[in-house]
Chains A and B, each alone.
Chain A
Amino acid sequence: MVSPLTLKLLRDLRGRLGSLAALVLIGALGVASFGGFDSVYRDLEAARNRFYADYRLADFSISLKRAPERVLSELARLEPVVAVEGRVRIPARLELTGVDEPVQATAISLPSPPRPVFNDVFLVKGSWFEDSSGRQALVNDAFARAHKLRPGDRFRAVIMGEQHELVVAGTVMAPEFVYVLPPAGGIVPDPSRTAVIFLPHRALQQWADLDGACNEILGRVHDPRKAPLKATLSLLEDKLDPYGVMISIPMSEAPSVQFLENELQELQRSATILPVICLAVVAFVLHVVLGRIVASQRTFIGTVRALGYSRWQVMGHYLGYALAVGMATVVVGLSFGSWIQGAMVGLYRNFYELPGLTPHPYPQVMLKSALAGVLAPLLGTLREAWTASSLAPASAMRPPPPERGGRVFLEWLIPGIWKHFPFSIKLILRAVLRNPYRSLVTFATTFVATALMVESLCMLRAVDAMIAHEFSISSRQDVSVGLREPAGRGLLQELVSLPQVARVEPQLAVSCTLSNGPYEKRVGVTGMTAGHVLYRPVDSRGEEVPLPEEGLVLSRKLAEVLHVQPGDRVRLRPLIGRRQVVEAPVAALADTYVGLAAYARLEYLSRLLGEEWVANSVLLSTYHRDPGPSLLQELNRRPYVLGAERRVRALTLLQDTIGRNLGVFFGILVLFTGGLAFGGVLNTALVSLAEREREIGTFRVLGYTKTEIMGIFAGESYLVNTLGVLFGIWGGVVFTRSVVDLYSTELFRLPELIEPHVLMRSGLLMMGFISLAMLVVYGVLARTRWLEVFKTRE
């Protein structure tokens, strides 16, 4: 038989179903994001770690002009080195029948058959090479999927100006190319235009003019920690100096590896922030709700205690509310969480070429999030349940102490003005000020929701602004052309005479190490000629930052990393050419949101390389914003062109992926915040409605209409909530700043964009959600059977 206490609990719960459901939803979001994001994190981390380990990701890579293979055994004998292997890595252009735009590719040799020592590849479809002739190639899986390439399909690769007919042997995933970025910059993968192909070592050696040699060395060290690895790398650089070292990096700094690491960190952050907010709100609101329930059920408590129920039974009864909410929260939250996990892992599978990335159930994660979901409401109500259980039967049977009357401080403060307030205003002000706790809860909920809303909307705008900044304000070329070898002025004449081309501007990008004392960073320094307009360093307001004759302009983040300010000097060492170290003054700072950047005059950079004037890429503007494929084909036919890319494509891609994904993310956040505001406001309003039932009944009897009563009631709610919204906007500004800070990495940042109209819109949206909640409250008020309340004493 069900105990009468349980029956009462169930009836009480049913009576508050609406507001408790809102609370359960908020809690479920917390549980879901806690468990969901953590599970995604584990899926991604496990798949990554397994892939890196099983496919032997190297500790470092060194690229150079040409190192004879015999050097490798020398290196392997060095004390800190475990093993090394040389391979060939060279840019290629792929041509597929029926695809009019060329594909930028990286061709990589797979040495030491049957499998390379480091950076092995995972075979998704098809088979390994049958021989080392170079008739067959392995292509990365995302590219193959983008073009529906299957084993046996043919394509052409242009390597060092020569065409090679290739057959797809199989499709693969490679640990160093989990996240494949277009070589010509850009921060989102473009699998249909970017490829990685793997070829037999001998064949690629021949095609790349590297017989008996290699141009990239991978290796493993005994101590892969950062500092010793750096030391080893500089030792290796010295040894390899005669062979033209270009870049040596720890594998952890490879773009794909870094991106993945970054994503994992962000997942971890998301698995903390959202759940904490949600569950805190649930605990807080339930704390208030139960406090009111206990206060209104004193007589009931006294009665059952007098009848001989123990205080633990009473305590258990009241904890039952929290337990019910907690259990519903867990059920909804866990299923929603596994949905989040599935959806996000699915999303990642589109972006990442990572074998074994599938959603797995994690019992500990579920247990952990379930525990959080139950504990939050229990902790929130512990004190109330305790209070209930410690009421002595006698005192509980006495009528509740009369509701406190008395003046509020405003009446003492401004008695003259107070006198003239209509009683409804007095009623509202007294209700707010005399129930500071209730008001505080309402205020806090609205405050948090508004702050989140401001943050979401500001971030949405920031994403747009970032894209505009990078792709319209800063760079305005229509086509960018990468050159195989640095070239002189003559080339510009040739390019400008092409059809459609309106303007050409040379650029020289040089990988350099910048350092300031202990702080060191490798970046590409971009050189531009006087009068450049197609690409300009700009500050956050979009103002152009002029380039000095001598010295550098740094991106703000880079300056931060190097601990320098305009006027300071940095040591600059080019990684190609004569590698002469110079002291360069930092002239000014510019703002970029993707990667780190440094800018200089092209002539200045050329001189550092020991040349007078060279460029290694050219920006074109055309008469049409989108020149179409014919110009690109024309460009790609030229042997000195490494690759050409239309900006329209990069921009569309960026807007499509980043824009859409972040848009959806923040869109969901906006809805969620709205829900939070709605649920919070609804709960506190319904509690205070229940508390004031008798008052409302009295008003009804006296002939007040529902609308008039709602006016008084809503007045209180709006007063507190409006304050919550106003302070919340301020809180949101602070919050946005800290989120921008938190998510500011060397790879990616968002502008700190706080616009008055966005703040206004957040405020209005919040007031909308609050009004929606008020509408529901009005519905409840209209349906309340006010006659009934007079039948009981309390």
Chain B
Amino acid sequence: MKQSLLEVKNVSKIYQMGEVQVPALQDADLEVREGEFLVILGPSGSGKSTLLNLLGGMDRPSGGNIRFQDQDLTRASDSQLTSFRRHNVGFVFQFFNLVPTLTALENVQVATQIARQPMDPLQALRMVGLENRADHFPSQLSGGEQQRVAIARALASNPRLLLCDEPTGNLDSTTGRAVLRLLWDVNRKLNMTVIIITHSQPVARMGHRAASLRDGRIVSLTENKEPIPPEEIEW
């Protein structure tokens, strides 16, 4: 049995919108294990992003408890959360979010500059197959390439946890597959814990486990005996 990395207990998130309360996440229980590939599934508005943001220390829950090893994220201060993200989490977004005025290499340096034990930025670019694009600006890269730079940036600080919110949402299927392959490799070769959000049921088959959300609740958590690499998945 693998060691547990994150423990989510009875967590809820309620957004206050004037008079109305929007329960985005309710009574979520989840244990994220070291080195696993976890896929989060669910229809739009089911609370996927909300959960991922809580796991990544981007936000605090309204109730319940989240622990990262011995650190209690529920009661962490703003600066403790910042330092948690800085040292333990890598993020990949649907819209890449590269800094447009920095080159690919410099975008990676944004992360390595503040990390405790970073990779060589060029090495990170090499991992995503873009070392020959190091001097390109985001506007000179394709969407898939931009997403790979974003992944390189997330990896470069050597985080324990890589969180991806619909990383293929903005890409065509071939490019999306390549990005997923990259994440697969990261998980296997670097033994990094990866959590991705996706809308597509088939993608769940590449994870060790898949959590399904509906209306702010985790409705199922299935274990995958044999994860399938992305290029073998049909969708």
Given contacts A405-B137, A405-B140, A702-B91, contact A427 B101 (CB under 8 A): yes
Flag whether B222 is at the interface (Cβ < 8 A).
no
Compute how far the CA of A431 lies from the CA of B102 in the bound complex, rounded to whole angstroms. 10
Q: Are A405 and B110 in contact (CB under 8 A)?
A: no
Compute how far the CA of A404 lies from the CA of B59 in the bound complex, rounded to whole angstroms. 32
Q: How far is the CB of B131 from chain A (nearest CB, A)?
A: 17
Q: How far is the CB of B59 from chain A (nearest CB, A)?
A: 6
Q: Which of B34-42, B82-90, B198-206, B211-219 contacts A (4 or more CB under 8 A)?
A: B82-90
Compute how far the CA of A709 lies from the CA of B222 in the bound complex, rounded to whole angstroms. 41
Name the A residues within 8 Å of B114 (CB-CB): 702-704, 708
Name the A residues within 8 Å of B103 (CB-CB): 405
Total residue contacts A-B, CB cutoff 8 A: 83
Q: How far is the CB of A135 from chain B (nearest CB, A)?
A: 85
Flag whether B68 is at the interface (Cβ < 8 A).
no
Q: Are A405 and B82 in contact (CB under 8 A)?
A: no
Nearest to A703 among chain B residues (CB) is B86
A405 partner, pick from B79, B91, B100, beta carbons under 8 A? B100
Name the A residues within 8 Å of B187 (CB-CB): none
Q: How far is the CB of B136 from chain A (nearest CB, A)?
A: 8
Residues of chain A in range 426-454 having any CB-CB distance to chain B below 8 Å: 426-427, 430-431, 434
Flag whether A131 is at the interface (Cβ < 8 A).
no
Residues of chain B in range 96-110 having any CB-CB distance to chain A below 8 Å: 97-103, 106, 109-110
Q: Are B100 and A426 in contact (CB under 8 A)?
A: no
Name the A residues within 8 Å of B137 (CB-CB): 405-406
Flag whether A308 is at the interface (Cβ < 8 A).
no
Nearest to B59 among chain A residues (CB) is A787
Name the A residues within 8 Å of B56 (CB-CB): 701
Q: Are A427 and B102 in contact (CB under 8 A)?
A: yes
Compute how far the CA of A424 lies from the CA of B165 in the bound complex, rounded to whole angstroms. 27
Flag whether B53 is at the interface (Cβ < 8 A).
yes
Compute how far the CA of A649 lies from the CA of B67 in the bound complex, rounded to whole angstroms. 80
Nearest to B94 among chain A residues (CB) is A790
Q: Are B97 and A697 in contact (CB under 8 A)?
A: yes
Compute how far the CA of A364 lies from the CA of B218 in the bound complex, rounded to whole angstroms. 71
Given contacts A701-B58, A787-B59, contact A426 B91 (CB under 8 A): no
Q: How many residues of chain B have a CB within 8 Å of chain A?
A: 37
Name the A residues within 8 Å of B85 (CB-CB): 701-703
A704 partner, pick from B59, B84, B86, beta carbons under 8 A? B86
Name the A residues within 8 Å of B95 (CB-CB): 790, 793
Q: Are B79 and A705 in contact (CB under 8 A)?
A: yes
Flag whether A755 is at the interface (Cβ < 8 A).
no
Q: How far is the CB of A82 from chain B (nearest CB, A)?
A: 79
Nearest to B104 among chain A residues (CB) is A405
Name the B residues within 8 Å of A434 (CB-CB): 101
Q: How far is the CB of A214 from chain B (nearest CB, A)?
A: 85
Compute how far the CA of A434 lies from the CA of B137 in the bound complex, rounded to whole angstroms. 13
Given contacts A405-B101, A702-B111, contact A426 B53 (CB under 8 A): no
Given contacts A422-B113, A793-B95, contact A703 B106 (CB under 8 A): no
Q: How far is the CB of B4 from chain A (nearest CB, A)?
A: 23
Compute how far the CA of A406 lies from the CA of B103 in the bound complex, rounded to whole angstroms. 8
Chain A, interface SS category: helix
Name the A residues within 8 Å of B138 (CB-CB): 402, 405
Q: How far is the CB of A458 from chain B (nearest CB, A)?
A: 40
Q: Mark B141-160, 1 if CB is under 8 A from A, else 0.
A: 00000000000010001000
Compute how far the CA of A414 lies from the CA of B164 in the bound complex, rounded to whole angstroms. 38
A423 partner, pick from B59, B82, B106, B157, beta carbons under 8 A? B106
Q: How far is the CB of A709 from chain B (nearest CB, A)?
A: 10
Q: Are B102 and A694 in contact (CB under 8 A)?
A: no
> Which of A402, A791, A793: most chain B Cβ within 10 A?
A402
Compute how far the CA of A46 lies from the CA of B95 in the bound complex, rounded to whole angstroms. 68
Name the B residues within 8 Å of A700 (CB-CB): 82
Name the A residues within 8 Å of B100 (CB-CB): 402-405, 695
Nearest to A702 among chain B residues (CB) is B111
Q: Mark A392-433, 1 if CB is under 8 A from B, else 0.
A: 000000000011111000000000000000111011001100
> Which of B82, B86, B93: most chain A Cβ within 10 A?
B82
Q: How far is the CB of B62 from chain A (nearest CB, A)?
A: 15
Nearest to B135 among chain A residues (CB) is A407
Name the B residues within 8 Å of A423 (CB-CB): 102, 106, 109-110, 113
Nearest to B87 among chain A residues (CB) is A703
Compute how far the CA of A695 lies from the CA of B98 in the bound complex, rounded to whole angstroms. 8
22 inter-chain pairs at a CB distance below 8 angstroms, sorted by A residue, are A403-B101, A404-B100, A405-B101, A405-B136, A406-B137, A423-B106, A424-B113, A427-B99, A694-B97, A695-B99, A695-B100, A698-B93, A700-B82, A702-B157, A703-B84, A703-B86, A705-B79, A787-B53, A787-B58, A787-B59, A791-B49, A793-B95
Which residues of B are at the interface with A, using a C-beta cutoff of 8 A?
49, 53, 56, 58-59, 79, 82-87, 89, 91, 93, 95, 97-103, 106, 109-111, 113-114, 136-140, 153, 157, 165
Please give me the 10 A-B residue pairs with the lowest Cβ-Cβ distance, nearest first: A405-B137, A703-B86, A403-B100, A703-B85, A405-B139, A402-B139, A430-B101, A698-B97, A423-B109, A423-B106
Q: A695-B99, A702-B114, A704-B86 are in contact. List 9 more A-B contacts (CB 8 A).
A: A402-B139, A404-B100, A405-B139, A427-B99, A427-B101, A431-B101, A702-B111, A703-B85, A704-B114
